[in-house]
Amino acid sequence: MLVGRTWRVVAQSASRKPLQIASRSMSSEADKARAAAEPKPNELTIFDKIINKEIPANIIFENDKVLAFRDISPQAPTHVLVIPKVRAGLTRLIRAEESHKEILGELLYTASVVARNENLEDGYRIVINDGKNGCQSVYHLHLHIIGGRPLGWPPG
């Protein structure tokens, strides 16, 4: 069902690649991802500023390791981000090392806690946008918990 979305066709390239179809909201997310750059090791991201309470966020879960808050541009009735409080080089999932296994598990467990608290028993999706082609716009690893309505397939 395509309620509330305006669709457009992106022109076919000279190499005759297949047409790509994208919604406006997806296009703007892709634009943000293309414009984003990985931060330098000590450079703060917007998520670091949320963790440090320098900028406001609608926080719905917090413990000593992770923070969960509502997305400011929700793509579904429930759209929550779950982030590690310490980045520790984990800007992208592809950069994960063995030392990150514990926090990766904590992120997924927190997603299940948030989903229960948000009454998503009928189902939800966990998304990790990784890198420019994955539409990652903030280089601080984070999970999107998306639910509250039937979700389509394929997602991209």
Domain membership of residue 93 (yes or no) is: yes
Query: Choosing from 79, 140, 142, 144, which is the catalytic residue?
Result: 142
pLDDT value at position 14?
Answer: 43
pLDDT value at position 132?
Answer: 92
Structural domain for 133, as ranges: 39-147
CA distance 83 to 103: 10
Total count of domains within the chain: 1
Domain membership of residue 56 (yes or no) is: yes
142 is a catalytic site residue: yes
- Cβ(131)–Cβ(94) under 8 Å? yes
CA distance 106 to 99: 13
Peptide bond preceding 154: is omega within 30 degrees of 0, i.e. cis? yes
Q: What is the CATH number of the domain that holds 43?
A: 3.30.428.10
Domain membership of residue 55 (yes or no) is: yes
Ranges of the chain whose pLDDT falls below 70:
1-30, 32-41, 156
pLDDT value at position 145?
Answer: 99
Domain membership of residue 154 (yes or no) is: no
Domain membership of residue 152 (yes or no) is: no
pLDDT value at position 40?
Answer: 66
pTM: predicted TM-score of the whole model, two decimal places: 0.77
Query: What's the CA angle centered on 62, arms 142 and 107, to 5 degrees?
Result: 35
CA distance 55 to 82: 16
pLDDT value at position 41?
Answer: 62
Q: Give the tokens for residue 72.
A: 């400011």
Domain membership of residue 85 (yes or no) is: yes
pLDDT value at position 2?
Answer: 39
Domain membership of residue 46 (yes or no) is: yes
CA distance 22 to 2: 12
pLDDT value at position 98?
Answer: 97
